[in-house]
Amino acid sequence: MKLQKIKALTNEYLESIGFVWHTDEDNSSYVANEIIQISEDEANAYYEAANELYDMFCEAGDYVIENDLFHEINIPFNLVEVIKESWENDVHWHLYSRFDLAGGIDGKPIKLIEFNADTPTSLFETGIIQWAMLKANNMEDASQFNNLYEALKDNFKRIITLDTEVDKFEEYYSKLNWKILFSSISSSSEDINTTKLLQHIATEAGFNTDFEYIENVQFSDEGIFKGDENFEFWFKLIPWEDIAIDESELALLLTEIVKNKKAIIFNPAYTLMFQSKGFMKILWDLYPNHPLLLETSFSPLEGKKQVEKRCFGREGANTKIINPDGSIDVETKGEYEGHKAVYQEYVELPKDEKGNSYQAGVFYAYEGCGLGFRRGGKILNNMSKFVGHIIK
**How is 298-357 classified by DSSP, letter by letter?**
SSPPTTS-EEEEETT--TTTT-EEE-TTS-EEEE---S-TTSPEEEEE--PPPB-TT--E
pLDDT at 106: 79
Q: Give the model's pLDDT for residue 314.
A: 86
Of 93, 78, 91, 96, the residue nearest 261 (C-alpha): 91
Backbone phi, psi, residue 139, to 5°:
-105, 160
Residue type, 358: Y
State CA 334 to chain mean position distance. Answer: 20
Quote the pLDDT of residue 323: 97
Cα separation, 19 vs 29, in Å, equals 12
Q: What pLDDT shows up at residue 219?
A: 97
**pTM, full prediction:** 0.96
State the pLDDT at residue 24.
83
Closest CA to 120 of 147, 142, 81, 148: 148
Show Cβ contacts of residue 56 under 8 Å, excluding neighbours closer than 6 positions.
Answer: 283, 286, 287, 290, 292
At 51 the pLDDT is: 98
- Give residue 163's pLDDT: 75
Of 242, 223, 244, 245, the residue nearest 234 (C-alpha): 223
Secondary structure of residue 169 in the 3-state scheme = helix
pLDDT along the chain (392 residues), means of 10: 92 87 85 95 98 98 98 97 96 96 93 96 94 92 92 94 80 82 94 95 95 97 95 96 94 97 97 97 98 98 96 91 96 91 96 94 97 94 91 94
- The pLDDT assigned to 175 comes to 75
The pLDDT of residue 74 = 97
